[in-house]
């Protein structure tokens, strides 16, 4: 018999998750989406039509259990605004502008449609690169959560520059000048994100990075892909400015916390991942050097040659991811060089266009990671307990590599100079130090300690897990009140 005082049914909150359309942003936001689903929220994941198409093509053959993890996440698309005439453009201002205008307009229509279909949106989790999203959310009176996809140190650095609390220097010779920012270790100019260094030639990318803060006051919550134990002072120092709550590392659950053993791959690759696991299975424990520069970096021919010869001279087995998108002018020379190199080193290494990185980093045969130190790769190396050799290219990678070497002490950094790339001899020596030397043992020990702390943050009762629970409760409270 029904009670006269029946409570109104509580709606299952519906969270829309909207990453910037590039691999390093889609991955952590998809992992966050999976966590929300596991906490019984209903999630719609937004991406652009072009990216969706690439994901479908690349996913062909993804293991069934990974697809199962994602089946409860509804995918919707918006256009990126690029036409066949300008889809190859490198003009960042144009790319951001079109996404904001064309994508933003369609995004508004999408929210209207979801609401009118009875799938009322309770909250929008957006990538800080999409600074226009909270304005749309406010129009609909929907609370929004900014998800910062770089480190909290970088969050603090950009904010201090944005707010004029620290001034950029314009003289290249001052690369060793100290930049003082509360909560951060002493940084030289050359430790700052490359866009803040005097040598920066990407003015639009610096504008874009700083612009992330222009609408931060309109976001209801600010979340970060990091964890308290890793960046305690950096996080605390932002409490009196714009507090950030960490919910990471946002990596497939099976490799870290084990809360969802089926979550063994992010499932959002934009390139088809090669099966290199069979090859790794044939190698002895901790004998393989894994090399990857992420999804965006385009290395010069010179740098590719130096890496190749450094790897070869190290005499260690290697697995090297070389994406097919080379610098156009050097493309033919690079292909010719690689063809010869791959043949010569057939017994030593394997070169692939893309791989399932977390599975590789966690494979027992892998002994170290040569990385550009993008933020996801950095968190993934810490979560996997692997020592690293960093060869940063640009953006926040310079700051991440400073932390890796001097703060977290899990790796060695090699910096390219203005005159040239990192050389083969430095590569060979550093690989040998990590794989064979005493200091390599210490780096590995430190990395394993970070892995333990990262896991602790993500399991029940851990700092990031509690922050995710807090966020879910906040969303539920607002949905029930609505």
Interface residue list for ligand UDP (CB under 6 A): 23-24, 27, 269, 292, 294-297, 321, 354-358, 374-377, 380
Six-digit token pair at 26? 């889609």
Query: Each residue of 152-164: b (16+ CB within 10 Å) or e?
Result: bbbbbbbbbbbee
The C-alpha atoms of residue 222 and residue 187 are separated, in whole angstroms, by: 25
Q: What are the residue ranges of helices labelled H in 170-283?
A: 203-211, 232-237, 277-281
How crowded is residue 458: how many other Cβ atoms within 10 Å of its Cβ? 25
Q: Which is nearer to ligand UDP, 14 or 413 (CB)?
A: 413
Q: Which is nearer to ligand UDP, 228 or 377 (CB)?
A: 377
Least Cβ distance, residue 325 to ligand UDP (angstroms): 12
Q: Which is nearer to ligand UDP, 159 or 320 (CB)?
A: 320
The C-alpha atoms of residue 42 and residue 34 are separated, in whole angstroms, by: 10
Least Cβ distance, residue 354 to ligand UDP (angstroms): 4
Least Cβ distance, residue 319 to ligand UDP (angstroms): 10
Q: Residues 14, 119: contact at Cβ < 8 Å? A: yes
Q: Which is nearer to ligand UDP, 178 or 298 (CB)?
A: 298
Beta-sheet pairing, 187-188 with 178-179: antiparallel
Q: Residues 253, 169: contact at Cβ < 8 Å? A: no
Name the DSSP class of 179: E
The C-alpha atoms of residue 198 and residue 210 are separated, in whole angstroms, by: 16
Q: Residues 411, 389: contact at Cβ < 8 Å? A: yes
Q: Which is nearer to ligand UDP, 41 or 223 (CB)?
A: 223
Q: Residues 140, 33: contact at Cβ < 8 Å? A: no
Name the DSSP class of 254: G
Q: Which is nearer to ligand UDP, 18 or 129 (CB)?
A: 129
The C-alpha atoms of residue 267 and residue 72 are separated, in whole angstroms, by: 13
Q: Which is nearer to ligand UDP, 169 or 283 (CB)?
A: 283
Q: Which is nearer to ligand UDP, 377 or 410 (CB)?
A: 377
| SS3 (DSSP) at 289 | strand
Q: Which is nearer to ligand UDP, 388 or 443 (CB)?
A: 388
Least Cβ distance, residue 95 to ligand UDP (angstroms): 15
Give the list of residues 6+ apart from residue 273 with CB closer than 8 angstroms, or none: 58, 354, 355, 356
Least Cβ distance, residue 80 to ligand UDP (angstroms): 17
Q: Which is nearer to ligand UDP, 212 or 357 (CB)?
A: 357
By C-alpha distance, which of 193, 104, 180 is closest to 397? Answer: 193
Torsion of CA 327, 330, 331, 334, to 10 degrees: -110
Q: Which residue has the tokens 């991955």?
A: 27
Give the list of residues 6+ apart from residue 326 with CB closer than 8 angstroms, or none: 298, 334, 335
Q: Which is nearer to ligand UDP, 133 or 270 (CB)?
A: 270
Q: Residues 313, 428: contact at Cβ < 8 Å? A: yes
Least Cβ distance, residue 12 to ligand UDP (angstroms): 29
Query: Each residue of 244-281: b (16+ CB within 10 Å) or e?
Result: bbbbbbbbbbbbbbeeeebbbbbbbbbbebbebeebbe
Q: Which is nearer to ligand UDP, 248 or 310 (CB)?
A: 248
């Amino acid at each position: 018999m029904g009670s006269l005082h029946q409570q109104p049914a509580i709606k299952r909150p519906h969270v829309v998750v909207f990453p910037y359309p590039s691999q390093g942003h889609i991955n952590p936001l998809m992992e966050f989406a999976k966590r929300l689903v596991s906490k019984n929220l209903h999630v719609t994941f937004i991406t652009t039509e072009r990216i969706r198409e690439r994901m479908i093509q690349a996913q062909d053959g993804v293991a069934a259990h990974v697809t199962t993890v994602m089946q409860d996440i509804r995918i919707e698309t918006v256009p990126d605004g690029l036409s066949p005439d300008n889809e190859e453009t490198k003009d960042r201002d144009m790319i951001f502008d079109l996404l904001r205008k064309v994508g933003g307009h369609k995004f508004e229509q999408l929210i209207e449609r979801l609401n009118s279909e009875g799938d009322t949106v309770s909250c929008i989790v957006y990538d800080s690169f999409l600074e226009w999203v909270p304005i749309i959310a406010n129009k609909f009176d929907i609370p929004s959560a900014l998800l910062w996809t770089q480190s909290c140190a970088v969050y603090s650095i950009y904010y201090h520059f944005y707010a004029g609390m620290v001034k950029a220097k314009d003289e290249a010779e001052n690369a060793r000048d100290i930049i003082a920012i509360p909560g951060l270790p002493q940084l030289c100019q050359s430790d700052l994100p490359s866009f803040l260094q005097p040598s920066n030639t990407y003015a639009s990318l610096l504008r874009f990075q700083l612009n992330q803060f222009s609408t931060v006051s309109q976001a209801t919550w600010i979340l970060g892909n990091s964890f308290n134990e890793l960046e305690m002072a950096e996080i605390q120092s932002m409490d009196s400015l714009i507090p950030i709550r960490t919910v990471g590392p946002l990596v497939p659950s099976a490799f870290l916390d084990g809360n969802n053993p089926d979550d063994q791959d992010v499932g959002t690759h934009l390139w088809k991942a090669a099966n290199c696991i069979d090859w790794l299975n044939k190698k002895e424990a901790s004998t393989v050097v894994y090399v990857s520069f992420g999804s965006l970096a385009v290395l010069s021919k010179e740098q590719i040659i130096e890496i190749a010869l450094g790897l070869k001279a190290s005499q260690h087995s290697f697995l090297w991811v070389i994406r097919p998108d080379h610098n156009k002018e050097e493309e033919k020379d690079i292909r010719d060089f690689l063809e010869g190199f791959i043949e010569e080193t057939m017994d030593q290494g394997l070169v692939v266009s893309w791989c399932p990185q977390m599975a590789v980093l966690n494979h027992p045969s892998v002994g170290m990671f040569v990385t550009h130190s993008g933020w996801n790769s950095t968190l993934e190396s810490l979560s996997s307990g692997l020592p690293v050799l960093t060869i940063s290219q640009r953006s926040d990678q310079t700051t991440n590599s400073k932390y890796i070497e001097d703060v977290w002490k899990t790796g060695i950094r090699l910096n390219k100079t203005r005159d040239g790339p990192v050389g083969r001899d430095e590569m060979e020596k550093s690989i040998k130090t990590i794989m064979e030397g005493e200091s390599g043992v210490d780096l590995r020990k430190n990395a394993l300690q970070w892995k333990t702390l990262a896991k602790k943050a993500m399991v029940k009762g851990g700092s990031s897990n509690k922050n995710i629970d807090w966020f879910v409760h906040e969303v539920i409270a607002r949905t029930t009140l609505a």
